[in-house]
Amino acid sequence: MSKNHRILLGTCEIVRQLYELRGAFRKLGHVAESMIYHKEIFYRDLDYDHTLLPESLFPEWVQTSTNPAVRIPRGVVNRAHRMSRLAYFLTAFDTYIFQFGESLMPGNRDFPILKRLGKKIVCVFQGSDIRHWSGAQPVREMFGLRAYASYKDFGRPLDQVLRTLRMAERYADVLVFQPSYGEMAVRPYHHLHLAVDLSLYDFDISEREVPVVVHAPSNRSNKGTTEILQMLDTLKGEGLKFELQLLEGLPNAEVIRRLRDADIVVDELNEAHYGMLALEAFATGCAVAGGNHPGLVPIPPDRPGVHIAPDIFLDRMRTLIGDRAYRVERARRGREYVVAHHDAETVAKNLLTALDRPAERPCDYYPTFFAEKYRLPEGEIIPDDLLRLTAEIVQTYGLPAEADPADMVRRGLIAPEGVDLTSISRWNRETLGKTHSSGVVWY
């Protein structure tokens, strides 16, 4: 068991993770508190220890006044008030778990402060926070997947993505994410296992002859909803019998209720791995069709989801809908899989082991794409401070054996100064394979 920790989890809720991990850490005997700046619409019913919603110390006429004699002192008082509240969060805990690139201060400016105070930091990323189309597109194409146009049209700018990731790579003690959106990484990291409180999910396999098929996209453009619905219409036209339920904009508790009475969940198209919806479906007794690409995301092995992509969707769904025995077998394995890999207490224990006893939990992924192959989009330039930050990280954590630091400088990815190109440590398959019992994963 790790030492007793005082843990702050914040500051943005994504798929119940702050809430679930807080409960798990408490069950393990740690002090854990959650802090958010605003509630997420799908989880409004969840309670958090600290919700720092924007607030005013003044009556409305003072707060809205544009008179400099009022506005300037009002701003001074408001900032002082916010900083006084922030001081508690910077000092009252020894371990900080942040997700989706957010932390206590804008731009992760609290990271160097926390490190100077001797605090431990865990950064958890979950997709668009560190994904950029210029990395996602070539990597996905390498594995036969497609990067949606929305990655480019609505994704974050490159400098914002890199700043978010590099600040974590520079200051965090533990990094957690997946290679299906970690194309820009240079530092080794751990696999993300989403935490699930299994007590919330009643398990029941309906075994209907005519299955209920659910699709519940949080973002239609990123989930492939248009294509999914078109192909399901094709199957209907062939005479395949199923009931389709499209769930959108519902609170999470209502989605879970609907899943309890469903048979199949169609999650995401052109994706390498599953998300929280798939886990909730596994936990309630559904078979799942979605991302399950063993090449791009090989951990954990033997996943029960049925992998779908545009060219195989119709055949896979014909089998899943038409073969009841196959469907039931996949659903039964799903619950067992969630228990084995995603139980919240297990996830919490593994995070603390990586933090307290890193030799017992070596990194799962040793990234190569950015260092060896990444090319900046035409006209894009990485700011000098980010180039220097990347150079610091590379100097500290090393590079894959095949990467050429001088070439990275020529490609505009690291600063030429501040890096001794002759002294950067290297990792390679053979060396790591001898020390990493679960195997070394590259992409």
SS (H, E, C) the chain: CCCCCEEEEEECCCCCHHHHHHHHHHHCCCEEEEEECCCCHHHCCCCCCEECCCCCCCCHHHHCCCCHHHHHHHHHHHHHHHHHHHHHHHHCCCEEEEECCCCCCHHHCHHHHHHHCCCEEEEECCCCCCCCHHHHHHHHHHCCCCCCHHHHHCCCCHHHHHHHHHHHHHHCCEEEECCCCCCCCCCCEEECCCCECHHHCCCCCCCCCCCEEEECCCCHHHHCHHHHHHHHHHHHHCCCCCEEEECCCCCHHHHHHHHHCCCEEECCCCCCCCCHHHHHHHHHCCEEEECCCCCCCCCCCCCCCEECCCCCHHHHHHHHHHCHHHHHHHHHHHHHHHHHHCEHHHHHHHHHHHHHCHHHCCCCECCCHHHHCCCCCCCCCCCHHHHHHHHHHHHHHCEECCCCHHHHHHCCCCCCCCCCCCCCCEECHHHHHHHCCCCCECC
Q: Interhelix angle for 225-237 vs 313-322, to 10°?
A: 60
pLDDT of residue 152: 87
Q: What are phi and psi of 151, to 5 degrees?
A: -60, -40
- Our measurement of the distance from residue 49's CA atom to the centroid of its chain's CA atoms, rounded to an integer in Å, reads 23
**β-sheet bridge partners, residue 97:** 9, 122
Residue with tokens 């393990």: 28
8 A C-beta contact, residue 326 and residue 263: no
Residue type for position 399: L
pLDDT of residue 72: 74
pLDDT of residue 79: 61
Give the whole-angstrom CA distance, residue 239 versus residue 225: 21
Give the whole-angstrom CA distance, residue 312 versus residue 141: 16
Structure-token pair, residue 230:
């078109």
**Fold of the CATH domain 200-340:** Rossmann fold (3.40.50)
Structure-token pair, residue 122:
């865990």
**β-sheet bridge partners, residue 6:** 31
**Can the peptide bond before residue 11 be classed as cis, meaning omega within 30 degrees of 0?**
yes
**Other residues' Cβ atoms within 10 Å of the Cβ of residue 402:** 11
pLDDT of residue 423: 86
Would you write out the chain's pLDDT as a tens digit for each of its 443 residues?
458 999 999 999 999 999 999 999 999 999 999 999 877 767 778 899 998 755 556 677 766 777 877 777 776 666 666 667 788 999 999 999 999 999 999 899 999 999 999 999 999 999 999 999 999 999 999 998 888 888 888 899 999 999 999 999 999 999 999 999 999 999 999 999 999 999 999 999 988 999 999 999 988 888 899 999 999 999 999 999 999 999 998 988 899 999 999 999 999 998 999 999 999 999 999 999 999 999 999 999 899 999 999 999 999 999 999 999 999 999 999 999 999 999 999 999 999 999 999 999 999 999 999 999 999 999 999 999 999 999 999 999 999 999 999 999 999 999 988 778 778 999 876 555 433 334 455 55
Rg (C-alpha) for the chain, rounded Å, is 23
Give the whole-angstrom CA distance, residue 52 versus residue 97: 17
Strands across the sheet containing 306-307: 243-246, 212-215, 264-266, 287-290, 306-307
Query: Using CA of residue 149, residue 155, residue 159, residue 162, what is the dihedral sign?
Result: negative
Half-sphere exposure of 382 (CA within 13 A, CB side): 25
